[in-house]
Amino acid sequence: MDLLTPELGLFFWTLLAFLSVFFLLRKFAWKPILNALSERETGIAESIATADRLKQEMSQMQNENEKLMAQAREERTQMLKDARIEQERIINKAKEDTKAIADKMLAEARQQIEQQKMAALTEVKNQIGNLAVEVAEKVLRKELAGAENQSKYAHTLVEEIKLN
């Protein structure tokens, strides 16, 4: 049992060695170790805080980006709508201009046709008149070929003139 119960001298010197090492470590080692641990704990806490702050900023930036994207989509939709309206307006104006030009050309063509028709009718009337005069002249020449026929015709004209 001697091994289990230490002697008082051994106990005293062991306690003295432990306390001296304890005070030496406390004075020279624990403060730097505790300071290093405290600094590391502070650094980790700051890193965590910075990470949380960055996470919040990233979340905020993502929300802002989503808002900007939504706004850009709305602007794009509005621009496309405006472009379609402008396209329809231009097409309608072109159709109206084309119709106006076509109507004008049609009216001019009708007027020219009417003028040519009137000119043709006048020409036909003139030709018919000339033809009637030529036919009458030929008929009269044949009928008035002799002197006796001429004198009969002259008497007939005189009688007609007296009657009128």
Do the domain assignments include residue 3? no
CA 24 distance to own-chain centroid: 84
Instruction: Supply the range of the domain harboring residue 62.
Output: 8-115
Do the domain assignments include residue 55? yes
* Phi, psi of 27, deg, nearest 5: -75, -40
**pTM, two decimal places:** 0.43
- To which residue do tokens 């009337």 refer? 125
Domain count, the chain: 1
Do the domain assignments include residue 140? no
pLDDT in tens, 49-102: 999 999 999 999 999 999 999 999 999 999 999 999 999 999 999 999 999 999
Structure tokens at 76: 């794009």
pLDDT in tens, 96-116: 999 999 999 999 999 999 999
Query: Any idea what DSSP says for residue 7?
Result: -
Do the domain assignments include residue 95? yes
